[in-house]
Amino acid sequence: MLEYPQILAELKSGLTALTQGRLEIGEDTDLVGDLNLDSLQVMNLLLEIEDRFDISIPVSILPDVRTVKDLALRIENLARGG
Amino acid sequence: MGLFDKFQGLVAARGELEALGIDPFGVEIERILSPTEGIIRGRRTILAGTNNYLGLTFHPDCIAAAHRALDAEGTGTTGSRMANGSYASHRRLEAELAAFYGMRDAIVFSTGYQANLGVLAGLTGPKDVVLLDADCHASLYDGCRLSGAEVIRFRHNNADELATRLRRLGARAADALIVVEGIYSMLGDRAPLEEIVAAKREHGGYLLVDEAHSLGVLGERGRGLVEELGVLADADLIVGTFSKSLGGTGGFCVSDLPALELVRYSSRPYIFTASPSPATIASTRQALSILASGRELRARLRANFEHLHARLTAMGYTLGASPSPVIAVVLADRVEALQFWNHLLQRGVYVNLMLPPATPNGVSLIRCSVSAAHSPEQIDAVCAAFAELRATAGSVVAEHGAGG
């Protein structure tokens, strides 16, 4: 079963690589406001997470996602079949 | 946060362009002379970035047809297809498009953008799944967004990833909509349609192919990549535009699915906009007839793009894909692409500048689009401008590939 801490760790690692370690990534980090990521970068990060956990993550969840925590919770929910 | 704060990034990007003295996104064609020539910045310029693949914008038969419709039916329909905006000519064009593909029916939309928006938003809703190639055009992404469907991307042209995502869907795969393009507009590469069709056959789903850049270009009769690869029967929906090989404005969707007729009633981009003007429909109908029998035009187009592709390759440029009417030259970064684009314009060659995030994998591109109407001398002049830049700015060309 895919658990929240595992998803959070994977997201942090992916985001750290994407931002080349310029910022400390936490649960409350704002993907756009703090990390200045564009939509394409976030969508491509999802592809990596999909590979890692063998799940599909619809990009249509993104409009409701602001922080790392929002994203991790949505992925956890998807992994549970929600 | 203020209303205009979101523009700060744009202001900075424009400032960068102003500092370089380049305005690639505000080019004015002061006078259009032919499908392949115009006056820009006061000088005669070869147009090699207009997607006018068959050069039909000045075809005398298309112009005459538009004139006749203008005289007989007036300047505009002043209404939606749902209200007063459906004329006999709109229905005739729909019947002709359906017959061209050998399918049951077609819907005409006011632009190509709206065709994609209208089909996706009309056909799919919040309970549906769309499987989208990552490099699909913005109009397909926007259509997904308007539909509210669950949108799952797969890496560009990766049929294995598509199959994996279909497998994960289980029983839902049977009703999923797979969305790909024939020729992709940024790099000019083609979809591996046989493999995509194989994934669909194994797992289920419906296939939509956007042939915007391949209509009139590929296939014996110009029906696009689906015809060229012999998979027309596996494409459940085909969308396309009138604004490239047909030289007009508008878009369409053809399908054998009886439900296509119902999309008219659920498609906001079809309902809440005015229909194409009679002159637009008339020139498009004439152009479609020329396109369908246009083997010679396609042969000339192919000779032109193969020649330009071979010459640019021989000069050592990194190109986005194998030969197609869209030839993308990959450059090192934004600044080099901007300067390169500007130098070409100074030498009388207009092409498109394509920068991230509109491009895949963050590449900066100079995109040429080739026309059947380009003369051998014009293609040679384009080659000469590229050769000159290669000689004077050898460092301009990047080491990295296009990734596609």
Given CB atoms, is B152 within the 8 Å cutoff of chain A?
A: yes
* B248 or B23, which is more confident: B248
Provide the whole-model pTM. Answer: 0.94
* Poorest-pLDDT segment among B80-94, B121-135, B235-249, B332-346: B332-346
* Residue A61, C-beta contacts closer than 8 angstroms, at least 6 positions apart: A74, A78
Chain A residue with Cα closest to B125: A60
Output the pLDDT for position B393: 56
In whole angstroms, give the CA distance from residue B252 to residue B241: 6
CB–CB of A47 and B144 under 8 A?
Answer: no
Residue B394 has pLDDT above 60, yes or no: no
Residue A60 maps to which CATH number? 1.10.1200.10
Instruction: Write phi, then psi, for A46 (nearest 5 degrees).
Output: -60, -40
Output the pLDDT for position B395: 45
pLDDT band for position B42 (cuts 50, 70, 90): very high
Sheet with B349-350, side-by-side order of all strands: B31-34, B37-40, B43-47, B349-350
The answer to whether residues B311 and B305 touch, using CB atoms and an 8 Å cutoff, is: no
Residue B400 has pLDDT above 80, yes or no: no
Given CB atoms, is B258 within the 8 Å cutoff of chain A?
A: no
Q: Residues B358-376: what's their mean pLDDT?
A: 94
Return the SS3 of B102. Answer: coil
Encoded tokens for B241: 């535009």
**Percent of chain A having pLDDT more than 90?**
59
Encoded tokens for B351: 């092409």
Nearest CA-CA partner of B321 in B209, B137, B191: B191
Chain A residue numbers touching B152 (CB-CB < 8 A): 56-59
In whole angstroms, give the CA distance from residue B133 to residue B361: 14
In whole angstroms, give the CA distance from residue A57 to residue A60: 9
Given CB atoms, is B168 within the 8 Å cutoff of chain A?
A: yes
Encoded tokens for B317: 């440029």
Residue A11 has pLDDT above 80, yes or no: yes
* Cβ neighbours of A40 (radius 10 Å): 16
The residues on A that touch B, with CB distances below 8 Å, are 38-40, 43-44, 46-47, 54-60
Report the amino acid identity of residue B377: E
Output the pLDDT for position B100: 98
**Percent of chain B having pLDDT more than 70?**
97
> Mean of the per-residue pLDDT values for chain B?
95
In whole angstroms, give the CA distance from residue B134 to residue B150: 14
CA contacts within 13 A on the Cβ side of B378: 24
Nearest CA-CA partner of B246 in B4, B65, B11, B2: B65
Chain A residue numbers touching B144 (CB-CB < 8 A): 60
In whole angstroms, give the CA distance from residue A58 to residue A61: 6
Output the pLDDT for position A18: 87
Output the pLDDT for position B253: 98
Q: Which ipTM value was assigned to this complex?
A: 0.90
Residue identified by tokens 């063998």 is: A54
Taking the CA atoms of chain B, what radius of gyration do you get in angstroms?
Answer: 21
Min Cα separation A37/chain B (Å): 11
CB–CB of B152 and A55 under 8 A?
Answer: no
The answer to whether residues B240 and B255 touch, using CB atoms and an 8 Å cutoff, is: no
Chain B residue numbers touching A55 (CB-CB < 8 A): 168
Min Cα separation A35/chain B (Å): 14
The answer to whether residues B249 and B279 touch, using CB atoms and an 8 Å cutoff, is: no
* Residue B231, C-beta contacts closer than 8 angstroms, at least 6 positions apart: B193, B194, B197
pLDDT band for position B401 (cuts 50, 70, 90): very low
Encoded tokens for B61: 């038969």
In whole angstroms, give the CA distance from residue A29 to residue A69: 8
All domains of chain B in start order, with CATH: 14-47+294-396 (3.90.1150.10), 59-292 (3.40.640.10)
Structural domain that includes position A20: 4-79
Instruction: Write phi, then psi, for B25 (nearest 5 degrees).
Output: -105, 10
CB–CB of B145 and A57 under 8 A?
Answer: no
Residue B92 has pLDDT above 90, yes or no: yes
Residue A8 has pLDDT above 60, yes or no: yes
Q: Residues B384-394: what's their mean pLDDT?
A: 83
* Residue B163, C-beta contacts closer than 8 angstroms, at least 6 positions apart: B199, B202, B203
In whole angstroms, give the CA distance from residue B16 to residue B335: 9
Report the amino acid identity of residue B376: P
pLDDT band for position B402 (cuts 50, 70, 90): very low
* Cβ neighbours of B9 (radius 10 Å): 11
CB–CB of B134 and A47 under 8 A?
Answer: yes
Total tally of structural domains belonging to chain A: 1
Task: Among A40, A47, A54, select the one facing B155 at the smallest CB separation.
Answer: A47
Catalytic residues of B: 185, 213, 244
Chain A residue numbers touching B150 (CB-CB < 8 A): 58, 60
